[in-house]
Structure 1
Amino acid sequence: MENPDRAQDRAPDHAGDDAGEVGVSREGHVATVLLRRPPNNHLDLPSLVAIAEALEALDRDPDCRAVVLAAEGRHFCAGADLANRAPGAGVPRDERTGRTLYREAARLLRTRKPVVAAVHGAAIGAGLGLACTADFRVTCAEARFAANFARLGFHPGFGLTALLPRLVGAQRAALLFYTGRRIGGEEAAAIGLADRLVPQAEVRAAAAALAHEIAGSAPLAVQGVRETLRRGLADEYERATEREFEQQAWQRQTEDYREGVRAMAERREPVFKGG
């Protein structure tokens, strides 16, 4: 998707881009960036690029002070789009431009406006990574969060080795990484992975309310303190993804990875052999 505001820097009030897999709308000083790949909103390289371009365009919009990141369908994001990739394939890459999923994801950490993620349904794997790039997460008891990479037979990715410990602490992050366990919204809120817990039907409205509350503060002050709090995070994220990519590259060639993918497709417990 091309930059939605290439011709003009201001997103229209109460309006949206109805074309493509990522839509942008704005109400007052709050914009909503909406991922539209229902029902599961699996993330691929073009949709991630579109999210990054939307956030960067909103950075240039002086009337936008905060952003809600949301999704249509049953889930916020149930992970990376593996449907059209061979079992040994690496991180999604555009061979024409050299763009990779992880390189584009780093753009999300370099934007200036605060982001509130509205997480309903599943935030799994890359979907958890996408949620963790936001400043805050609003969720519900029915949501499910998982860094399930080890259950698929390979190293965590999407910069989660940098982001998740900042949110829940190193010990809890290690437990989530090693086990690949899914946790619900209540536990996510209890450990600091989510900031607000509301009824499922109210997730997006509550995220918008928080974004409007943030937008009521002085925008330059908010952006300044955000930059202070997140200083060095984008660089740390890029270093983490380099390590993640290196580990994933060889682990995706193993029989354990192939078994993890088969087990997921067959909805059964994987049987790993360490090779």
Structure 2
Amino acid sequence: MPVITKRVSDHIEVVTVDFPPVNALPVQGWFDLAAAVRKAGEDPDVRVVVLRAEGRGFNAGVDIKEIQRSTGYAALVGANRGCYAAFGAVYDCAVPVVAAVHGFCLGGGIGLVGNSDVVVASEDATFGVPEVERGALGAATHLARLVPQHLMRALYFTARTITAAELHSYGSVYQVVPREELDDAALAVARDIAAKDPRVIRAAKEALNGIDTQQVHRSYRFEQGFTFELNLLGAADDAREAFLKDKGND
């Protein structure tokens, strides 16, 4: 199964994403991830969710090849709805979500990480939103939760990445560790949270979401509207084809 859940000690549910080769998720993958996180949060025995990935990187966003293979806009609509569901499941999860990030975290990966409660990253982790180079918009909402406003705009317009160490300096990444220590570090944070009274932690998660100044659901949905416009204009299709052509020449 590309989305795997495993209960570990101390009331922690580990959700692992594994879509080789680069964890670019197809439409169903986003919905499966959303369902796994949502189910974990609804389990009264779960106190913390750890979100991690296998393979070369944490997440490479949507599966562009799936969109290009499809006719019409069904795959695009599915990807947008799937991302919305997965990002929302992380944000709305009744218990804290700890993201364990390694390698690349791009596009949709930023949506997951930006909506997580705690981010632990390996030293090789890099974060970015290459949407403008793919003819799409989205995840600026979540990137803005990781870096200051003007840096977010620079990263968004240039599509460049930022390191885990840089994010740590802004406080959005809680801890940076060697790659081989990532899982243990994420579990250590999760165990610290899980040791607290679960009634208080669940109330705290709801309260923190309630006082959040950023309406993540509304702002992300607003961004997605421009992706549809760019597709209707043909700009998105041109960008995706150019990206796949470049990848084919690598």
Shared fold (TM-score greater than 0.5)? yes
Q: Alpha-carbon deviations, 1:36-72, whole Å to 9, x = none?
A: 2123111222122222222222223222111110111
Aligned residues: 243
Cα distance, 1:99–1:127 mapped onto 2, change above 3 Å: closer
RMSD: 2.5
TM-score after normalising by structure 2:
0.86
Please say if 1:56 is aligned against 2:38: yes
Q: Gaps (5+ residues) in structure 1? A: 1-19, 269-275
Q: Alpha-carbon deviations, 1:112-157, whole Å to 9, x = none?
A: 11011110111111122122221111112211211111122332x1
SS at match of 2:224: helix
Aligned-partner residue type, residue 67 of structure 1: V
Is this contact kept in 1: 2:12–2:190, CA < 8 A? yes
Please say if 1:249 is aligned against 2:249: no
- Tell me the equivalent position of 1:26: 7
Is this contact kept in 2: 1:110–1:234, CA < 8 A? no
- Tell me the equivalent position of 1:75: 57
Residue 146 (structure 2) aligned to one of 156, 167, 171: 167
Distance in 2 between the 1:192 and 1:53 partners? 29
Distance in 2 between the 1:226 and 1:78 partners? 28
Distance in 2 between the 1:103 and 1:257 partners? 19
Distance in 1 between the 2:8 and 2:226 partners? 43
Distance in 2 between the 1:80 and 1:189 partners? 26
Please say if 1:203 is aligned against 2:185: no
Distance in 2 between the 1:163 and 1:145 partners? 11
- Tell me the equivalent position of 1:4: none
More helix per residue: 2
Percent identity between matched residues is 29
Distance in 2 between the 1:232 and 1:251 partners? 34
* Superposition pairs of residues 182-197 of structure 1, within 5 angstroms: 182-197=161-176
* 1:99 CA displacement: 8.6
Q: Gaps (5+ residues) in structure 2? A: none
